[in-house]
Protein backbone atom coordinates (compact mmCIF):
# COMPACT_ATOMS: atom_id res chain seq x y z
CA UNK A 1 0.00 0.00 0.00
CA UNK A 2 1.50 3.35 -1.02
CA UNK A 3 1.76 6.44 1.18
CA UNK A 4 -1.21 8.22 -0.36
CA UNK A 5 -3.51 5.22 0.12
CA UNK A 6 -2.43 4.68 3.75
CA UNK A 7 -2.94 8.33 4.51
CA UNK A 8 -6.40 8.42 2.90
CA UNK A 9 -7.56 5.51 5.04
CA UNK A 10 -6.55 7.41 8.17
CA UNK A 11 -8.15 10.61 6.92
CA UNK A 12 -11.43 8.75 6.46
CA UNK A 13 -11.38 7.59 10.09
CA UNK A 14 -10.23 10.88 11.65
CA UNK A 15 -12.55 13.59 13.02
CA UNK A 16 -10.86 16.98 12.39
CA UNK A 17 -13.52 18.69 14.52
CA UNK A 18 -13.11 16.48 17.55
CA UNK A 19 -11.09 16.78 20.73
CA UNK A 20 -7.32 16.91 20.20
CA UNK A 21 -6.01 13.41 20.73
CA UNK A 22 -3.19 12.82 23.21
CA UNK A 23 -1.46 10.29 20.99
CA UNK A 24 2.03 11.76 21.24
CA UNK A 25 1.78 13.26 17.74
CA UNK A 26 1.72 16.86 16.60
CA UNK A 27 -1.84 18.29 17.04
CA UNK A 28 -2.98 14.70 17.67
CA UNK A 29 -2.84 13.93 13.95
CA UNK A 30 -3.39 10.27 13.04
CA UNK A 31 -0.39 9.87 10.75
CA UNK A 32 2.81 7.90 11.25
CA UNK A 33 6.07 9.01 9.67
CA UNK A 34 5.65 6.70 6.69
CA UNK A 35 2.24 8.30 5.93
CA UNK A 36 3.46 11.89 5.99
CA UNK A 37 4.48 14.30 3.25
CA UNK A 38 6.36 16.47 5.78
CA UNK A 39 8.70 14.99 8.39
CA UNK A 40 10.15 17.20 11.13
CA UNK A 41 13.16 16.07 13.15
CA UNK A 42 13.09 17.16 16.81
CA UNK A 43 16.57 18.10 18.05
CA UNK A 44 16.67 18.84 21.82
CA UNK A 45 20.10 20.49 21.82
CA UNK A 46 21.35 23.75 23.34
CA UNK A 47 25.00 23.11 24.16
CA UNK A 48 26.49 26.37 22.86
CA UNK A 49 23.82 28.88 23.90
CA UNK A 50 25.47 32.04 25.17
CA UNK A 51 22.74 33.61 27.32
CA UNK A 52 19.53 31.93 28.52
CA UNK A 53 19.31 28.16 28.31
CA UNK A 54 16.31 25.89 27.94
CA UNK A 55 15.96 25.70 24.17
CA UNK A 56 16.64 21.97 24.35
CA UNK A 57 13.14 21.89 25.84
CA UNK A 58 11.75 23.46 22.66
CA UNK A 59 10.62 20.34 20.80
CA UNK A 60 8.80 18.98 23.84
CA UNK A 61 7.20 22.35 24.59
CA UNK A 62 5.95 22.72 21.02
CA UNK A 63 4.68 19.15 20.82
CA UNK A 64 2.80 19.42 24.11
CA UNK A 65 1.25 22.78 23.20
CA UNK A 66 0.18 21.59 19.76
CA UNK A 67 -2.63 19.48 21.20
CA UNK A 68 -4.89 22.50 21.62
CA UNK A 69 -4.44 23.87 18.07
CA UNK A 70 -7.33 23.71 15.64
CA UNK A 71 -6.55 22.22 12.25
CA UNK A 72 -7.81 24.81 9.80
CA UNK A 73 -5.10 26.92 8.16
CA UNK A 74 -6.54 30.12 6.63
CA UNK A 75 -4.10 29.97 3.71
CA UNK A 76 -3.87 26.22 3.05
CA UNK A 77 -7.30 24.62 3.01
CA UNK A 78 -7.51 21.14 4.59
CA UNK A 79 -3.75 21.27 5.12
CA UNK A 80 -3.88 18.58 7.82
CA UNK A 81 -4.74 15.99 5.18
CA UNK A 82 -1.27 16.38 3.65
CA UNK A 83 0.25 14.46 6.54
CA UNK A 84 2.67 16.07 8.98
CA UNK A 85 4.79 14.03 11.36
CA UNK A 86 7.01 15.48 14.07
CA UNK A 87 9.45 12.93 15.44
CA UNK A 88 9.63 12.69 19.23
CA UNK A 89 12.81 14.04 20.80
CA UNK A 90 15.69 11.63 21.23
CA UNK A 91 16.51 10.91 24.87
CA UNK A 92 20.11 10.22 23.85
CA UNK A 93 20.52 13.61 22.16
CA UNK A 94 18.92 15.35 25.13
CA UNK A 95 21.16 13.57 27.64
CA UNK A 96 24.26 14.42 25.61
CA UNK A 97 23.16 18.05 25.38
CA UNK A 98 22.64 18.26 29.13
CA UNK A 99 26.04 16.77 29.85
CA UNK A 100 27.90 19.00 27.42
CA UNK A 101 25.98 22.10 28.47
CA UNK A 102 27.51 21.90 31.94
CA UNK A 103 30.98 21.83 30.40
CA UNK A 104 30.11 24.72 28.07
CA UNK A 105 28.97 26.82 31.04
CA UNK A 106 32.36 26.32 32.70
CA UNK A 107 34.13 27.39 29.51
CA UNK A 108 31.89 30.46 28.99
CA UNK A 109 32.31 31.54 32.61
CA UNK A 110 36.08 31.23 32.25
CA UNK A 111 36.00 33.45 29.16
CA UNK A 112 33.88 36.05 30.90
CA UNK A 113 36.37 36.12 33.77
CA UNK A 114 39.33 36.44 31.40
CA UNK A 115 40.69 32.99 32.22
CA UNK A 116 41.76 30.28 29.77
CA UNK A 117 42.74 26.88 31.19
CA UNK A 118 43.73 23.56 29.70
CA UNK A 119 40.32 22.31 30.73
CA UNK A 120 38.69 25.00 28.56
CA UNK A 121 40.63 23.85 25.51
CA UNK A 122 39.67 20.23 26.19
CA UNK A 123 36.02 21.25 26.55
CA UNK A 124 36.09 23.11 23.25
CA UNK A 125 37.50 20.09 21.43
CA UNK A 126 34.93 17.75 22.99
CA UNK A 127 31.99 20.02 22.20
CA UNK A 128 33.13 20.83 18.67
CA UNK A 129 33.48 17.11 17.95
CA UNK A 130 30.07 16.34 19.45
CA UNK A 131 28.39 19.07 17.41
CA UNK A 132 30.05 17.78 14.25
CA UNK A 133 28.73 14.29 14.99
CA UNK A 134 25.22 15.65 15.59
CA UNK A 135 25.23 17.52 12.27
CA UNK A 136 26.40 14.39 10.47
CA UNK A 137 23.52 12.40 12.00
CA UNK A 138 20.97 15.05 10.98
CA UNK A 139 22.50 15.18 7.49
CA UNK A 140 22.15 11.39 7.10
CA UNK A 141 18.62 11.43 8.49
CA UNK A 142 17.62 14.22 6.11
CA UNK A 143 19.06 12.32 3.15
CA UNK A 144 16.86 9.37 4.10
CA UNK A 145 13.77 11.61 4.32
CA UNK A 146 14.53 13.11 0.91
CA UNK A 147 15.05 9.64 -0.57
CA UNK A 148 11.44 8.88 0.43
CA UNK A 149 10.35 12.07 -1.37
CA UNK A 150 9.21 13.72 1.84
CA UNK A 151 9.75 17.36 2.83
CA UNK A 152 12.24 17.66 5.72
CA UNK A 153 12.26 20.10 8.63
CA UNK A 154 14.01 20.57 11.96
CA UNK A 155 12.50 21.63 15.27
CA UNK A 156 15.26 22.84 17.60
CA UNK A 157 16.92 23.23 19.97
CA UNK A 158 19.23 26.12 19.44
CA UNK A 159 19.87 27.62 16.04
CA UNK A 160 22.99 25.53 15.39
CA UNK A 161 20.85 22.42 14.89
CA UNK A 162 19.70 22.75 11.25
CA UNK A 163 23.16 22.78 9.61
CA UNK A 164 23.00 19.11 8.57
CA UNK A 165 19.50 19.65 7.16
CA UNK A 166 20.62 22.66 5.11
CA UNK A 167 23.66 20.76 3.86
CA UNK A 168 21.56 17.83 2.64
CA UNK A 169 19.07 20.13 0.92
CA UNK A 170 21.82 22.15 -0.77
CA UNK A 171 22.98 18.98 -2.52
CA UNK A 172 19.51 18.43 -3.98
CA UNK A 173 18.75 22.12 -4.60
CA UNK A 174 22.11 23.72 -5.47
CA UNK A 175 20.53 27.07 -6.36
CA UNK A 176 18.43 27.43 -3.22
CA UNK A 177 18.43 30.56 -1.10
CA UNK A 178 17.66 31.03 2.57
CA UNK A 179 15.11 33.32 4.17
CA UNK A 180 16.13 33.83 7.80
CA UNK A 181 13.69 35.38 10.28
CA UNK A 182 15.77 36.28 13.32
CA UNK A 183 16.74 38.95 15.84
CA UNK A 184 20.40 38.05 15.24
CA UNK A 185 22.61 37.70 12.18
CA UNK A 186 24.34 34.53 13.47
CA UNK A 187 27.36 35.41 11.34
CA UNK A 188 30.04 35.25 14.03
CA UNK A 189 33.10 33.10 13.36
CA UNK A 190 33.26 30.30 15.96
CA UNK A 191 31.71 32.40 18.71
CA UNK A 192 33.29 31.73 22.13
CA UNK A 193 35.50 29.15 20.42
CA UNK A 194 32.58 26.90 19.50
CA UNK A 195 32.86 26.13 15.78
CA UNK A 196 29.18 25.21 15.66
CA UNK A 197 27.89 27.94 17.97
CA UNK A 198 24.26 28.94 17.61
CA UNK A 199 25.65 32.42 16.87
CA UNK A 200 27.74 31.05 13.99
CA UNK A 201 25.19 28.98 12.05
CA UNK A 202 25.05 31.23 8.98
CA UNK A 203 28.76 31.95 8.96
CA UNK A 204 29.15 28.18 8.63
CA UNK A 205 26.38 27.87 6.06
CA UNK A 206 27.74 30.62 3.81
CA UNK A 207 31.37 29.44 4.05
CA UNK A 208 30.85 25.70 3.85
CA UNK A 209 27.85 25.34 1.55
CA UNK A 210 27.05 26.64 -1.96
CA UNK A 211 24.14 28.81 -0.83
CA UNK A 212 23.19 31.31 -3.51
CA UNK A 213 21.53 33.92 -1.32
CA UNK A 214 20.88 34.59 2.37
CA UNK A 215 18.15 37.14 3.15
CA UNK A 216 17.86 38.12 6.81
CA UNK A 217 14.72 39.78 8.19
CA UNK A 218 14.03 41.31 11.60
CA UNK A 219 17.68 41.74 12.61
CA UNK A 220 18.18 44.02 15.61
CA UNK A 221 21.15 42.68 17.60
CA UNK A 222 24.56 42.14 15.99
CA UNK A 223 28.25 42.91 16.39
CA UNK A 224 30.72 44.79 14.19
CA UNK A 225 32.19 41.55 12.85
CA UNK A 226 28.79 40.39 11.60
CA UNK A 227 27.83 43.71 10.03
CA UNK A 228 31.15 43.95 8.22
CA UNK A 229 30.77 40.36 7.02
CA UNK A 230 27.39 41.18 5.52
CA UNK A 231 28.82 44.28 3.83
CA UNK A 232 31.77 42.33 2.37
CA UNK A 233 29.45 39.66 1.02
CA UNK A 234 26.62 41.94 -0.06
CA UNK A 235 26.25 39.93 -3.28
CA UNK A 236 25.18 36.89 -1.24
CA UNK A 237 23.88 38.36 2.04
CA UNK A 238 21.04 40.87 2.20
CA UNK A 239 19.99 42.26 5.57
CA UNK A 240 16.65 43.83 6.49
CA UNK A 241 17.15 45.21 9.97
CA UNK A 242 14.08 45.74 12.07
CA UNK A 243 14.83 49.46 12.47
CA UNK A 244 15.16 49.90 8.69
CA UNK A 245 11.82 48.16 8.12
CA UNK A 246 10.13 50.38 10.72
CA UNK A 247 11.73 53.56 9.39
CA UNK A 248 10.53 52.79 5.88
CA UNK A 249 7.03 52.21 7.23
CA UNK A 250 7.11 55.45 9.23
CA UNK A 251 7.92 57.25 5.98
CA UNK A 252 4.90 55.73 4.27
CA UNK A 253 6.21 52.57 2.60
CA UNK A 254 3.82 49.67 3.02
CA UNK A 255 4.95 46.45 4.65
CA UNK A 256 3.57 44.66 1.60
CA UNK A 257 6.05 46.56 -0.60
CA UNK A 258 8.89 45.76 1.79
CA UNK A 259 8.03 42.06 1.80
CA UNK A 260 7.89 42.14 -2.01
CA UNK A 261 11.43 43.51 -2.02
CA UNK A 262 12.57 40.82 0.41
CA UNK A 263 11.08 38.07 -1.73
CA UNK A 264 12.47 39.50 -4.96
CA UNK A 265 15.95 38.91 -3.52
CA UNK A 266 15.27 35.17 -3.18
CA UNK A 267 15.77 32.54 -5.88
CA UNK A 268 12.96 30.19 -6.93
CA UNK A 269 13.82 27.54 -4.32
CA UNK A 270 13.81 28.72 -0.73
CA UNK A 271 14.77 27.30 2.64
CA UNK A 272 13.14 29.08 5.60
CA UNK A 273 15.02 29.35 8.88
CA UNK A 274 12.74 30.74 11.59
CA UNK A 275 14.30 31.68 14.91
CA UNK A 276 11.42 32.37 17.28
CA UNK A 277 13.26 35.43 18.62
CA UNK A 278 12.65 37.09 15.26
CA UNK A 279 9.19 37.76 16.67
CA UNK A 280 8.33 40.45 19.19
CA UNK A 281 9.54 39.01 22.54
CA UNK A 282 6.05 39.37 24.02
CA UNK A 283 5.25 36.37 21.79
CA UNK A 284 8.25 34.33 22.94
CA UNK A 285 9.41 35.61 26.35
CA UNK A 286 11.10 32.33 27.21
CA UNK A 287 13.50 32.28 24.27
CA UNK A 288 17.18 32.28 25.15
CA UNK A 289 18.16 35.65 23.66
CA UNK A 290 15.11 37.92 23.49
CA UNK A 291 15.53 41.36 21.90
CA UNK A 292 13.04 44.28 21.97
CA UNK A 293 11.32 44.95 18.65
CA UNK A 294 10.71 42.28 16.05
CA UNK A 295 7.86 41.07 13.91
CA UNK A 296 4.29 40.59 14.98
CA UNK A 297 2.73 37.19 14.39
CA UNK A 298 0.66 38.61 11.52
CA UNK A 299 3.67 40.33 9.92
CA UNK A 300 5.71 37.12 9.96
CA UNK A 301 2.86 35.06 8.54
CA UNK A 302 2.30 37.61 5.78
CA UNK A 303 5.95 37.29 4.75
CA UNK A 304 5.80 33.49 4.70
CA UNK A 305 2.51 33.52 2.79
CA UNK A 306 3.93 35.86 0.16
CA UNK A 307 6.87 33.55 -0.46
CA UNK A 308 4.45 30.89 -1.66
CA UNK A 309 2.15 33.36 -3.41
CA UNK A 310 5.17 34.50 -5.44
CA UNK A 311 5.44 31.02 -6.95
CA UNK A 312 8.58 30.08 -5.04
CA UNK A 313 9.08 26.59 -3.64
CA UNK A 314 9.85 26.01 0.03
CA UNK A 315 12.23 23.05 0.00
CA UNK A 316 12.70 22.75 3.76
CA UNK A 317 12.53 24.72 7.00
CA UNK A 318 13.47 24.93 10.64
CA UNK A 319 12.00 26.46 13.78
CA UNK A 320 14.51 27.06 16.57
CA UNK A 321 15.08 28.66 19.98
CA UNK A 322 11.63 27.99 21.48
CA UNK A 323 11.78 27.84 25.27
CA UNK A 324 9.70 28.93 28.22
CA UNK A 325 6.07 28.14 28.99
CA UNK A 326 4.07 25.51 27.12
CA UNK A 327 0.91 27.60 27.25
CA UNK A 328 2.49 30.64 25.60
CA UNK A 329 5.88 30.08 23.95
CA UNK A 330 4.85 26.58 22.92
CA UNK A 331 1.51 27.79 21.64
CA UNK A 332 3.15 30.36 19.37
CA UNK A 333 5.89 27.95 18.29
CA UNK A 334 3.40 25.22 17.40
CA UNK A 335 1.44 27.62 15.21
CA UNK A 336 4.57 28.80 13.42
CA UNK A 337 5.69 25.21 12.81
CA UNK A 338 2.29 24.12 11.50
CA UNK A 339 2.06 27.03 9.09
CA UNK A 340 5.62 26.51 7.85
CA UNK A 341 4.89 22.85 7.13
CA UNK A 342 1.60 23.67 5.42
CA UNK A 343 3.17 26.32 3.21
CA UNK A 344 6.02 24.00 2.24
CA UNK A 345 3.50 21.33 1.24
CA UNK A 346 1.38 23.84 -0.66
CA UNK A 347 4.40 25.20 -2.55
CA UNK A 348 5.35 21.67 -3.66
CA UNK A 349 1.85 20.66 -4.67
CA UNK A 350 1.47 18.14 -1.85
CA UNK A 351 -1.92 19.58 -0.85
pLDDT higher than threshold 90 for residue 37 = yes
Summarize the confidence of residues 312-327 as an average pLDDT: 96
Q: What is the 3-state secondary structure (H, E, C) of the chain?
A: CCHHHHHHHHHHHCCCCCCCCCCCCHHHCCCCHHHCCEEEEEECCCCCCCCCCCHHHHHHHHHHHHHHCCCCCCCCCCHHHHCEEECCCCHHHHHHHHHHHHHHHHHHHHHHCCCCCHHHHHHHHHHHHHHHHHHHHHHHHHHHHHHCCCEEEEEECCCCCCHHHHHHHHHHCCCCEEEEECCECCCCCCHHHCCCCHHHHHHHHHHHCCCCEEEEEEECECCHHHHHHHHHCCCCEEEEEHHHHHHHHHCCCCHHHHHHHHHHCCCCEEEEEEEHHHECCCCCCCCCCCCCCCECHHHHHHHHHHHHHCCCEEEEEEEECCCCCHHHHHHHHHHHHHHHHHHHHHHCCCC
Give, in degrees to the nearest 5, the angle at Cα 65 between 345 and 32: 45
Tell me the per-residue pLDDT of 320-337, one tens digit each, with 9 for 90 and over. 999 999 999 999 999 999
Residue ranges and CATH numbers for the domains of the chain are 3-8+22-347 (3.40.800.10)
Digit-coded pLDDT (tens) for 256-307: 999 999 999 999 999 999 999 999 999 999 998 999 999 999 999 999 999 9
CA distances from 255 to 137, 145, 306, 348 (A): 39, 36, 12, 26
Q: What is the pTM of this model?
A: 0.95
> Over the chain, what is the mean pLDDT?
94
Pair 83, 37: CB distance under 8 Å: yes
**27-31, 136-140, 189-193, 314-318: the lowest-pLDDT one:** 189-193
pLDDT, tens digit (0-9, with 9 covering 90-100), for 98-108: 999 888 888 77
Tell me what pLDDT residue 66 has: 94
Amino acid sequence: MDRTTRRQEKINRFDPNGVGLRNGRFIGLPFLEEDAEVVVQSIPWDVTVSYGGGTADGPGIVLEASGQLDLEDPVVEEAWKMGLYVRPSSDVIRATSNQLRKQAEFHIESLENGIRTDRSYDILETINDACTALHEDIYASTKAILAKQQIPGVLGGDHSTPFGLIKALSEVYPDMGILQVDAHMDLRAAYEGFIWSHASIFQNVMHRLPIRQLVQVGIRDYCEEEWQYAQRHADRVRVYRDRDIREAMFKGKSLYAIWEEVIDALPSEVYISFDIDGLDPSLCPGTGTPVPGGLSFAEANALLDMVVQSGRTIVGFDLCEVSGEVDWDGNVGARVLYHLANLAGRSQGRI
